[in-house]
Chain A
Amino acid sequence: MTIKEIQDSIVEDFSMFDDWMDRYAMLIEMGKECPIIDDQYRNDQYLINGCQSRVWLHAELKDGKVYFTADSDAVITKGIINLLIKVFSGQTPEDILAADLSFLDEIGLKEHLSPTRSNGLLSMLKQMMLYAEAFKSIQ
């Protein structure tokens, strides 16, 4: 699936719920399904440090596509990073860098988009883009 198709399906999943609790329940589920980072990478080098919860993110390039793994000590944070992983994992660095991110507004997680929010979506997103940028340059 293309990034756009995955985004649309996530938006559709989230739109089934009017209630924020159901949306968070879904995020929590997603947190539990996160492709977990290998223990060797669970260290400060791969840490996206924030005030509230810790997130580790690793990426590798296989056959021209980027694959992400991650972990967090907070399950909602883990759900958010897995949401992004679902969208970007298995895509080319070029496609990742070119992705339209407006789907984030549509799934009602806007409060996580604040640049000042510790460990917000934005810092995770930025780290993923940095990986894509780095892989693009070595290809």
Chain B
Amino acid sequence: MDINEIRKQFPVLDQQVYGKPLVYLDNAATTQKPLCVIERERDYYLHENCNIHRGVHYLSQMATEAYENARKTVARFINAPESHEIVFTRGTTESLNLLATSLGYLLSPKKVLVTAMEHHSNLVPWQQMVQRHGGELLVVPMDDNGVLDLQAYEELLKRGPQIVAMAHVSNTLATINPVKEMIKLAHHYGALAVVDGAQSMAHLPIDVQDLDCDFFVFSGHKMYAPMGIGGLYGKTEWLEKMPPYQFGGEMVDTVSFEKTTFNKLPFKFEAGTPNVGAALGLETAIKFIENFDRQEVAQHEDTLVAATMEGLSKIEGMRFIGQAPERSGLVSFIIDGIHPYDLGTIIDKMGVAVRTGHHCAEPVMTRFGIPGTVRASFAVYNSLEEVNILVHAVNRAANMLR
């Protein structure tokens, strides 16, 4: 894998900030987009733009076909049995809101189980929904390394939650959760299993049939695709039973003032004009990912993570937040006596882009008793040289701030 060649496909990386070369290590927030993705979306608007599923005319038919092919590509990428089991959404957040709202109507759940490491997007929709039904949110605890307590998980399942929602990979701790095992247990106790794949799609191979999850959600923009597109995979039997979540054009079958019947899957869940251009960009992003040996990419990213931890561990007072044995893609840390915001502000001036703060996972920060962390997260185009710049910058900033 030639990182320099890969970087050429990401023009945004080739720039200076404050007179220093940009070191972009905020990929868990959003990845940069390769030229092929940018060009695919541009091409759509240059040559193909049309509203889909409606027109009898040529362009509309072509755009519809392209959009539906993109859906097939997503289905293939995560090994969904049927492409109608893929609903296009704006991203993970919308997918989870769709699920919480629609499953809320369907099941009126009294108990929903989430884990202690969820992003707010996989926490607040469930919390609000279950509170509306007068129920309670149950939480699977984790240990100091950021590993879920599976014994506690099983005990909580015995309390009868109807839904279990879990992160595949934690956005703050990098923990890869044993979701396959957790899904199996959830089913054993009669709960539906929802997997938040926002942080796993770009890094791990996903096979929803092997996982046997009932739902899997993801964002395009964290996997080299444009913003504003993502997806929800759901098993047909559940998607069929679930009522629509938004209403409007496209999602209906027949409408009168007295009654509306709804379109078939997946259109029932896609009210209004979708982001067709971004969906085509997502398809291209998937092909971009598939062009690599994914094992090799994962090894490369693991090498970057290991080098980062090794380099940073020499800094006095360094504390890594999240030290699970199974990890992916990022390093979260804090230095004793130094606020993450201060550190982030200083290293930003050295051209290093990281995320600081609670990463939309406030309960995780509360659990570790910290105001936030500094998070460096990696993508295929990051290099060991960039890791060295990061380590050097953190060292320098720590000396300034102490």
Contacts and interface: CB of A to CB of B under 8 A. Distances in A.
Interface of A: 20-21, 24-25, 28, 51-54, 73-77, 118-119
Given A20-B18, A52-B372, A74 B400 contact: no
Interface in B310-325: none
Most chain B beta-carbon neighbours within 10 Å: one of A20, A52, A119 = A52
12 contacts: A25-B400, A28-B342, A28-B401, A51-B358, A52-B357, A73-B371, A75-B342, A75-B401, A76-B342, A76-B346, A77-B339, A119-B341
A42 to B, nearest CB: 15
B400 A28 contact: yes
Given A28-B400, A28-B401, A75 B349 contact: no
A53 B341 contact: yes
Interface string B362-402: 00000000011000000000000000000000000000110
Contact of A76 (B341, B358, B371, B372): B341
B349 A74 contact: no
A77 B400 contact: no
A70 to B, nearest CB: 15
B345 interface: yes
Most chain B beta-carbon neighbours within 10 Å: one of A28, A75, A77 = A75
A115 to B, nearest CB: 17
Contact of B346 (A24, A52, A54, A118): A24
A20 B342 contact: no
By secondary structure, the B interface counts as helix
A21 B346 CA distance: 8
A53 B342 CA distance: 9
Contacts, number: 42
Most chain A beta-carbon neighbours within 10 Å: one of B339, B342, B400 = B342
Contacts of B340: 52
Nearest to A23: B349
A23 B401 CA distance: 13
Contact of A24 (B339, B371, B400): B400
Contacts of B339: 53, 73-75, 77
A76 to B, nearest CB: 5
Contacts of A76: 341-342, 345-346
A24 B349 contact: yes
Interface string B317-356: 0000000000000000000000111101110010000001
A54 B342 CA distance: 12
B371 A53 contact: yes
B350 to A, nearest CB: 9
A52 B344 CA distance: 10
Contacts of B346: 24, 76
Nearest to B350: A21
Contacts of B342: 28, 53, 74-77
